[in-house]
Amino acid sequence: MRKVLIRKLGVGSIARFVGVASAIWAFIFAVFAMFGGIAATLEHDGWSFVTKILATLGVVVGSLVLIPAIAFVWGWLYGAIIALIANLFLHTASGIELDVEDEA
């Protein structure tokens, strides 16, 4: 077992991790939102067939692309802010000591 002292977190790597995790969760949510949006557009009585197809395509693209992209941006910002705050605490506390066990 060895001791590791963490004095600073990589802001970019933490932000990227939180952004990707948020985008994955948002994609899962977006699949369900997509089916709800498709049902809503297909049930609309006042639209022609072509309008329904285009609206359905817009719902699919909007759900599967825009929702995860927005979630990535917000998650990245959140991760960056949290990492910066954590670095302030790590600086004032002179780091955090972890015990790490090497596998044989």
Range name among 9-23, 36-50, 54-68 with the lowest pLDDT average: 36-50
Query: What is the structure's pLDDT at 103?
Result: 82
First CA to last CA distance, the chain = 11
Region 77-93: what's the mean pLDDT?
94
Count of structural domains within the chain: 1
The residue type found at 70 is I
Query: What is the structure's pLDDT at 1?
Result: 82
Query: What is the structure's pLDDT at 102?
Result: 83
> pLDDT exceeding 90 applies to what percent of the chain?
52
CB atoms within 10 A of CB 40: 12
Both tokens assigned to 16: 């990227």
Region 14-31: what's the mean pLDDT?
96
DSSP output for 10-58 = -HHHHHHHHHHHHHHHHHHHHHHHHHHHHHHHHT-TTS-HHHHHHHHHH
Domain extent at residue 63: 2-100
Query: What is the structure's pLDDT at 64?
Result: 93
